[in-house]
Structure 1
Amino acid sequence: MQKNEKSLNILQLTLSFENGGRKEAIRNLAAGMQGAGHKVFLGCVSHLGADEIDLTVFEDTIVFDRQKLFDFAAAKKLALFCASHNIDLIHTHDAGSLFFSSLAKFSFNKTPPQIMTFHRSLNFETASFKNKLRNMFSLIVSEGVITVSNARGRDFIASNLIKPKRLQLINLSADINRFSFDLDARNRIRDGFAIKPTDIVCGAMGHFGLEKGIDVVIKGFADLQQRLGEEGKSVHLMILGKGNEQDTSRLEKLISDFKVEGVIFAGFHPDPESYFSAFDIFLHSPREENGATVLFEAMATGLPIVGSLIGGVPEAIVENETGLLVDSDTPKQLADAAHKIIVNNELRGAMGLEGFKRCYLNFTREHYFNRHVDFYREVLK
Structure 2
Amino acid sequence: MLNATRVTGSGQSARNAVNWPAPPPQVAPAATLPTPPVLPRIKVLHVITRFVAGAGGNTLLSAEGMDPERYEVWIAGVPGGDLWDRARAAGLRTVEIPGFRHTLTPMDLLVLWRLARLIRRERFTVVHTHSGKGGFLGRAAARLCRTPVVVHTFHGFSFHPYMSRRRRMAYRWLERATRRFTHGFLAVAPRVAEEAVEERLAPPGHVHVVPSAVDLGHIPERFDPVARRVLGVPREKALIGTVGRLDYQKAPWDFIRMAAAIRAVRPDTAFVVIGDGPLEDEARRLAAELDVDITFTGYRPDAAWLVAGLDVFVMTSLYEGLGRALTEALATGRPVVTTAVNGVPDLVEHGATGLLVPPADPEREAQAVGWLLDHPREAAEMGRQGRRRVRTSFDPQAMCAAVDACYRDLLGLPPLPGPSAIGPSRTQGAASGP
* Fold similarity call, TM over 0.5: yes
Distance 1:322 1:205 in 2: 18
* Structure having greater relative contact order (Cα 8 Å, sep ≥ 6): 2
Deviation at 1:349, TM superposition (A): 1.9
1:377 is the counterpart of 2:418: no
1:155 is the counterpart of 2:195: yes
Alpha carbons of 1:14 and 1:283: their partners in 2 closer, same or farther (altered >3 Å)? same
* TM-score (normalised: structure 2): 0.75
1:123 to 154, 159, 166: 159
Match runs of 1:1-381 below 5 Å: 8-17=42-51, 19-34=52-67, 38-39=70-71, 41-47=73-79, 49-50=81-82, 51-65=84-98, 68-69=108-109, 71-72=112-113, 74-81=115-122, 83=123, 87-109=124-146, 111-121=147-157, 123=159, 127=167, 129-160=169-200, 163=203, 166-181=206-221, 186-228=224-266, 232-233=267-268, 235-244=269-278, 247-261=279-293, 263-381=294-412
Distance 1:284 1:16 in 2: 21
Kindly indicate whether the alpha-carbon contact (under 8 Å) linking 2:48 and 2:56 is maintained by their aligned counterparts in 1: no
Q: Which moved more, 1:266-275 or 1:128-137?
A: 128-137
Alpha carbons of 1:93 and 1:339: their partners in 2 closer, same or farther (altered >3 Å)? same
Deviation at 1:285, TM superposition (A): 1.7
Q: Report SS of the residue matched to 2:257.
A: helix
2:347 counterpart letter in structure 1: A
Kindly indicate whether the alpha-carbon contact (under 8 Å) linking 2:76 and 2:97 is maintained by their aligned counterparts in 1: yes
Q: Report SS of the residue matched to 2:44.
A: strand
1:338 counterpart letter in structure 2: V
Query: Which structure has the greater CA radius of gyration?
Result: 2
Distance 2:179 2:345 in 1: 28
Q: Report SS of the residue matched to 1:91.
A: strand
Gaps of 5+ in 2: 1-20, 24-38, 100-106, 413-434
Percent of aligned pairs with the same residue? 19
1:244-266 C-alpha deviation (Å, 9 max, x unpaired): 2xx223222321232213x1111
1:325 counterpart letter in structure 2: L
Alpha carbons of 1:106 and 1:360: their partners in 2 closer, same or farther (altered >3 Å)? closer
Q: Report SS of the residue matched to 2:249.
A: helix
2:345 counterpart letter in structure 1: P
Q: Report SS of the residue matched to 1:211.
A: coil
Q: How many residues align?
A: 363
1:31 counterpart letter in structure 2: E
Gaps of 5+ in 1: none
Kindly indicate whether the alpha-carbon contact (under 8 Å) linking 2:219 and 2:331 is maintained by their aligned counterparts in 1: yes
Distance 1:57 1:158 in 2: 38
Alpha carbons of 1:74 and 1:370: their partners in 2 closer, same or farther (altered >3 Å)? closer
* TM-score (normalised: structure 1): 0.84
Deviation at 1:198, TM superposition (A): 2.4
Deviation at 1:76, TM superposition (A): 2.3
Distance 2:114 2:291 in 1: 56
Q: Which moved more, 1:235-244 or 1:371-380?
A: 371-380
Distance 1:327 1:16 in 2: 27
Distance 2:234 2:42 in 1: 50
2:45 counterpart letter in structure 1: L
Q: Which moved more, 1:341-350 or 1:94-103?
A: 94-103
Deviation at 1:341, TM superposition (A): 1.2
Deviation at 1:120, TM superposition (A): 3.3
Distance 2:135 2:157 in 1: 17
Kindly indicate whether the alpha-carbon contact (under 8 Å) linking 1:145 and 1:164 is maintained by their aligned counterparts in 2: no
1:201-243 C-alpha deviation (Å, 9 max, x unpaired): 2120122223212221221122122222xxx31x211111112
Deviation at 1:55, TM superposition (A): 2.9
1:60-80 C-alpha deviation (Å, 9 max, x unpaired): 223454654264354122222
1:99-129 C-alpha deviation (Å, 9 max, x unpaired): 34444444333x2311111223462599455
Kindly indicate whether the alpha-carbon contact (under 8 Å) linking 1:319 and 1:325 is maintained by their aligned counterparts in 2: yes
Alpha carbons of 1:351 and 1:267: their partners in 2 closer, same or farther (altered >3 Å)? same
Q: Report SS of the residue matched to 2:197.
A: helix
Kindly indicate whether the alpha-carbon contact (under 8 Å) linking 1:122 and 1:155 is maintained by their aligned counterparts in 2: no
Q: Report SS of the residue matched to 2:212.
A: coil
Aligned to 2:11: none
2:144 counterpart letter in structure 1: S
